Structure 1
Amino acid sequence: MQGKGQGKGMIKPAKLADAIADHLETLIREGVLRPGEKLLPERDLALKLDVSRPSLRDALEKLEERGLLVSGRNGTHIAQFLAPIAAPLAALLQSDPDAPFHYLEFRTSIEAAAAKLAAQRATDLDRQAIRALAQRMRDAHGKDDPSEEADVDAQLHLAFYEAAHNTVMLHIMGALSEMLRNDVFYNRDRLYTRPGVRDLLLEQHLAIVDAVLAGDAEAAHAAAEAHVMFTLHTLREIREDDTRLEASLRRIGRTDLIETAERA
């Protein structure tokens, strides 16, 4: 005979640790907490979440078991959970001279889709973040060194992925974006320092921003597609220029390999 409270259909209340773990997992899934970021110390995080330290500790252990957190002497960090895929892929692509073009061909469709979704789904907070990044890009554009503008460029594209509210797109493109920052696909400094390109890139980024903020999905799609195609074509031009320069240098150095009349 079943005792009181032991009925077959009884619903057990969720443990606080499970609720905390689920909350933090949601923040990781939505990109609020990003791979590599360090969490607050246990005491501060417990106060921030208004939970007990033992419950928080249990929740963190659960997330560590799921591979979403990594704890060590330097504290607790969000795991680089795509690293087992991204690291060998980066090594593989670095040996492929055509990888930059394959990457940008892929990005053409993804970036256009992300911009379109962002125009349709962006919240007021998303739009506020995009406006702030666009202003930072304008400010950085006036500086001689393009590195800050290139960094904001990557942040702006990540903001479009976030505003698209598609978690698969966010995490996959976030991992690829990290490869881009590390020049796995191409050297961004060479792109930004090519004569005339920097002004055009700013113009293109602002066109995407304007379309997303206006909620114009088709214009956002077209602007993003045009931007990535421009980048692809520019990198092809850089590759062709490099190939011609290398050929010219080989011609100049040919006398080191043959016996000339002066040496005879």
Structure 2
Amino acid sequence: MTTSSRGRVEEVMRKLESALLDGSLPAGSRLAPERQLAGQYAVSRNTVREAIQRLAARGLLRVKPGAGVFVSEQLRSHLPSPWAQLVSDHPALRSDILEFRRVLEGATAYFAAQRATDTDKQKIRSLMQALKTAHEQQDTVAESDADAQLHEAIAMASHNVMFLHLQTSIISMLREHITVNGVGMREQDPVISAQLMQQHQAFADAICDGHPEEARTAMHTHIDFVRRYFRQDEDAQISCH
């Protein structure tokens, strides 16, 4: 391979790596066909093929004969299962998780309001509609699932590589935390369910309208509401014993 050929391969690799980092190519997604990528990057198909093979050798891509090339799960460096199990088994850690979510998701909401593209906003609005539909149908499981997906979409819309990968690296735990606790809160009291809906609408609107401070404040308000709910619930359980 000539020096110029190696340079073109490395250039394609850098572009694909950038797409992996910024979430344009999320875990599990399928790459465009070689012919399309060659046209997009103005290189030969052999150059694209070599770049893909190198990234596959590093575990970042998976080549499935007859199906295509897919992004691996390697960038989603999930927490070790023993830690996730400890968090699940010890409700007292819930306060720490919510404290962490307040910091992380307040920041992602702030930057999402600054940087969300039209596609990001469309995704956020679509998930808000799914949240509303599930709420109206009193389907608490579907509502909580849409809730978790909404928080993920906001992280994507922040377009900050570090925030995105910090959140996706523990997304399985956060997603379970949001879904399980969301179902419990919504089933407990319809008034609380309505308040949660209003809170999600507030930070979604602030993000889509491009108001960073309002988005961060609305997210903090939401997380603080959840923290107070569980603190009161824990106090009530203690008083019963």
TM-score in terms of structure 2 length = 0.81
Shift in Å, 1:147: 1.7
d(CA) in 1 for partners of 2:116 and 2:126? 14
Shift in Å, 1:241: 4.6
The residue aligned with 1:49 is: 37
Shift in Å, 1:121: 2.1
d(CA) in 2 for partners of 1:95 and 1:71? 38
d(CA) in 2 for partners of 1:34 and 1:226? 29
Q: Deviations over 1:73-124 (max 9, x none)?
A: 7865423225555134423433433222101101112211211112222233
Q: List runs of 5+ in structure 1 lacking aligned partners.
A: 1-10, 248-264
Q: Give the counterpart of 2:58 among 66, 72, 81.
A: 66
The residue aligned with 2:211 is: 216
Q: List runs of 5+ in structure 2 lacking aligned partners.
A: none
Shift in Å, 1:183: 4.5
d(CA) in 1 for partners of 2:71 and 2:57? 12
Task: Please state whether the residue corresponding to 2:33 is helix, strand or coil.
Answer: helix
Q: Which amino acid aligns with 1:162?
A: M
Task: Please state whether the residue corresponding to 1:236 is helix, strand or coil.
Answer: helix
Task: Please state whether the residue corresponding to 2:80 is helix, strand or coil.
Answer: helix
Shift in Å, 1:167: 0.9
1:94 has 2:85 as partner = no
Task: Please state whether the residue corresponding to 2:79 is helix, strand or coil.
Answer: helix
Q: Which amino acid aligns with 1:90?
A: A
The residue aligned with 2:71 is: 78
The residue aligned with 1:20 is: 12
CA contact (8 A) 1:179 1:185 kept: no
Shift in Å, 1:19: 3.2
Q: Which amino acid aligns with 2:30?
A: L
CA contact (8 A) 2:144 2:182 kept: yes
CA contact (8 A) 2:38 2:48 kept: no
Q: How does 1:175-254 map to 2 (within 5 A)?
A: 175-183=169-177, 186-195=180-189, 196-242=191-237, 247=241
Q: What do you get for the CA RMSD once the two structures are aligned?
A: 3.0
Shift in Å, 1:226: 0.5
d(CA) in 2 for partners of 1:71 and 1:103? 37
CA contact (8 A) 2:147 2:178 kept: no
The residue aligned with 1:32 is: 24
The residue aligned with 1:125 is: 119
d(CA) in 2 for partners of 1:224 and 1:131? 16
d(CA) in 2 for partners of 1:85 and 1:244? 37
d(CA) in 1 for partners of 2:36 and 2:236? 55
Count of paired positions:
233
Shift in Å, 1:47: 3.3
Q: Deviations over 1:189-241 (max 9, x none)?
A: 21221202211111000000121222222211111100011112222334445
CA contact (8 A) 1:100 1:186 kept: no
Question: How many percent of aligned residue pairs carry the same amino acid?
Answer: 31
CA contact (8 A) 1:103 1:185 kept: no
d(CA) in 1 for partners of 2:118 and 2:216? 20
CA contact (8 A) 2:127 2:146 kept: yes
Taking structure 1 as reference, are residues 82 and 95 closer, same or farther at Cα in structure 2, changes over 3 Å only?
A: farther
